[in-house]
Amino acid sequence: MRKTLAIVLTFILGFSGILNAQQTARGKVFADLNSNGRLDRNEKGLPGVAVSNGIEVVLTDSDGSYGLPVGNDHILFVIKPAGYKTPVNELNQPVFYYIHKPQGSPRLEFQGVAPTGALPAQINFPLIPVGQSDNFRMLVFGDPQPYEEKEVDYFYRGLVKELEGVKGVEFGLSLGDLVGDNLNLFLPYKKAVSHVGIPWYNVMGNHDENYDVKHDSLSDESFELHFGPATYAFNHGKVHFIVLDDILYPDPRGGDGYWGGFREDQFRFLENDLKFVPKDHLVVLAFHIPISEREGWGAFRGPDRDRLFRLLQDFPHTLSMSAHTHFQSQDFFTRMEGWLQDKPHHHFNVAASCGDWYSGPLDEQGVPMATMRDGTRKGYVFLNFSGNQFTFDYKVAGEPDDYQFELYVPKTVKATRYSSAQFAANFFIGAKTDSVFFRVDGGAWKPMRYTEAYDPSYMKLLYEYDFSENPPSGRRPSNPDLCNHLWVARVPVKLEPGMHEIEVKGIDMFGREHRQKKSYRLITE
């Protein structure tokens, strides 16, 4: 009898716990006219605004009210509509979410979320009305990835500092690996990037994970403490941004490490979120691991890519972005690769803000130049939007805006009949379908030949470390990787001896022209 009673009590208590765990969060999304973060008497709720618990997505009713189920580990967030901005904290991080973890995060090596206690009666989300154009600009960083405080300083002085007070940019986004395994560096990273002076969103990377967990759903506890949800969305102009944590950790195949892909709850969020996105809007997806698999790197789970493509098949305007690889590439998915539209899907794998992990010679500021293994110089991206169309610009840190090539041109060439001397142009934002030309001394333009090879400028840098009696300052860079935005041509030798100027012209995927020059000396034998 006692045993039966104990079983009944256990069932009742367990069922009561389930009821207590599954509650309904309620509140309002409102126009915060005085930007004080509180719903004042004269402020009204906003109808038709999307709010999510990370899975379900609902629209606010006529007075701005919403209701969503929550358990013991949910983050509620508003999906910012166009024409509004969310508040930011003292470090310019957007505040658009409420964390509900009554018991807090589990005990981990790096701090997670403290217990949040009982669910409040109202969870309101303020939105500040702003005049907003469909034409706007944003900033994108690849992996900042500092492993120690010294590298946070490199990140600030070598990249962020030149952007302080930047004008005409609405917000920024870092594409994961905000830090390098030491999650105590989240705060120094946030302080550094706050100096740009604009709202800054963040993607979770594999080096931002809590590694001492057994389930992927807990791998973002420290990230959540500092940045809120790892999967979320917002709107600006005619662009719908979706940020996704695409690192499955621990690897669900049973091994150590991670795998690129999405959980079922993320797919449910995607499906529910996209229901409310107009089909004529541009959908921009941001995650860390590229959906284009590449030998030697953490691959992306193929069925997940196919499922993502099915969800996007009715949206004719799309772009996806990633980082992770520490090189830069443009990938175009066609029907052959599982894309379900005639117009290819553009995936932009953005270069790392830390370059080649803060390696290479030190510049005049004492900051590593950190050229990446494909020869791409360390830098960042400006994304430019006009309605549902986009262009982008790559800015090499510390160089003028028009520095779009790394040119490798021999200093001296012998004018022999069978000269094999070549020059090369690494077109940082180039794609295989782009056109690159050259001319000598202002003559006729001739095409250069596209090739996938090691960038000779990068190889020259490595040889300076390997064969010099006095190697350059800084840590030796990584071994090279193939560059997929490289063009080559023979150095012209049927010219008079003396100095000659090679000019290179690249026409990018948006039809824009970029030029750069370099000289060489021609001698006779």
How far from 123 is each of 26, 119, 134, 313, CA to CA, in Å?
Answer: 6, 9, 30, 35
pLDDT at residue 131, rounded to an integer:
83
Nearest partner of 439 among 524, 509, 514, 500, judged by Cα: 500
Q: Is the pLDDT of residue 3 over 70?
A: no
Phi and psi for 481 in degrees, rounded to 5? -125, 155
Positive or negative, the CA dihedral 125, 247, 171, 196 is: positive
- Give the pLDDT band (50/70/90) at residue 21: low
pLDDT of 9 over the 60 cut: no
**Pick from 358, 430, 424, 366: nearest CA to 394:** 430
d(CA 270, CA 300): 18
According to CATH, the superfamily of the domain at 405-523 is Immunoglobulins (2.60.40.10)
Q: Is the pLDDT of residue 20 over 70?
A: no
Q: What pLDDT band is residue 26 in, cutting at 50, 70 and 90?
A: very high
182, two tokens: 């030491």
More confidently predicted of 399 and 293: 399
Residues 449-508: tens digit of each pLDDT: 999 999 999 999 999 999 999 999 999 999 999 999 999 999 999 999 999 999 999 999
Q: Flag whether pLDDT at 29 surpasses 90.
A: yes
Give the model confidence (pLDDT) of 345-378 as tens digits.
Answer: 999 999 999 999 999 999 999 999 999 999 999 9
Distance from chain centroid for Cα 437: 31
Query: What topology does CATH give the domain 125-396?
Result: Purple Acid Phosphatase; chain A, domain 2 (3.60.21)
- Least confident residue range of 178-187, 198-207, 286-295: 286-295
Is the pLDDT reported for residue 396 higher than 90? yes
DSSP E strands in 167-256: the ranges are 171-174, 200-202, 232-236, 239-243, 247-248
Contacts of 522 (CB under 8 A, 6+ apart): 412, 413, 415, 493, 495, 496, 497, 498, 499, 500
pLDDT at 11 over 70: no
Q: Where are the alpha helices (DSSP H) in 220-354?
A: 221-227, 264-274, 302-311
Question: Residue 452: what residue type?
Answer: E
The pLDDT tens digits for 155-179 are 999 999 999 999 999 999 999 999 9
**Residue at 215: amino acid letter:** H
CATH 2.60.40.10 location in the chain: 405-523
**pLDDT for residue 13 is more than 60:** no
Rounded to two decimals, the pTM is 0.93
Over residues 200-214, the mean pLDDT reads 97
Q: Return the structure tokens found at 14.
A: 């367990």
- What pLDDT shows up at residue 10? 36
CA 202 to CA 303: how far, in whole Å?
A: 26
CB 127 within 8 A of CB 78: yes
- 297 pLDDT more than 60: no
Q: Which two tokens stand for residue 270?
A: 């995607």
**Which DSSP string do the residues of 346-380 spell out, in sequence order?**
EEEEPPPTTTTTT-S-B-TTS-B----TTSPPSEE
- Average pLDDT on 80-109 reads 97
